[in-house]
Structure 1
Amino acid sequence: MIRYTLKCPEGHRFESWFHNAAAYEALAAAGQLRCPDCGADRIEKSLMTPDVRPARARPPAPTEQLAPQTEREKAIAALKRKVEAEADYVGPRFAREARAMHDGTAPERPIYGEAKPEEAIALIEDGVPVAPLPFTPTRKIN
């Protein structure tokens, strides 16, 4: 779809949407475009400002991020540093790893990662001790 600003010989300006530039040209050549104010059928494209959105801002690099402001934010940042320093990041294998440790088929160790809601519910229902973290992990695996 394309939007054009149009004008008639009387100077009335209006906008209209077209499937593409060729659709505008075909309708204009056939005299099928009309001014909504005066009904004139000699319609031309007018100068228009393109509707360009600004580029998305780049998220700040970790060193550019602002220091936590509230006590709660400070506590969450401290918890994140502790978890990331002392636990193994297992990513999407979290549910499998947690269940294996609970069943005794894998050695116990501190882990963190991601689990789908249904996986987390199943772990809790089976008595596997898990808890959601109040932050998004920084590390990702390939």
Structure 2
Amino acid sequence: MTPEDLAALHAACFTTPRPWSTAEFAALRDSPGVFLCGDETGFALGRVIAGEAELLTLAMHPTARRRGLGRRWLNAFEATARSRAAADAFLEVAADNAAALRLYQRAGYTVAGRRNAYYTPPAGPRIDALVMRKMLAKT
């Protein structure tokens, strides 16, 4: 997928946090440790640095939701992170994003922290961000 494809799909999915631009996706794709799992239905963009994985964004096209594809790309993110020697995975999600929270909790992520009033929506009050963590390494 090109940075243009990623930006268009991201824009179809998000208003809060704001959609990322083509230039932002291009810069991320060129960054060390960054990887992409996905297709035109959705994608997971992640990175692994120093044994920690970060899910930068997970986007599913609105017409492709509720088919298990979000879980598919989350699993692919985790598998790629493990293959790159990540022991833990982190992500950030808007506290009011119930569907994403369910997905992450069912996948074994737990809340590790809260960033108060982190996101600024187009209208209304600011929204907290939840930082979530999952151990990837088998103990």
TM-score bin, normalised by smaller chain:
under 0.3
Query: Which structure would you say has the larger Rg?
Result: 1
Q: TM-score, normalised by structure 2?
A: 0.24
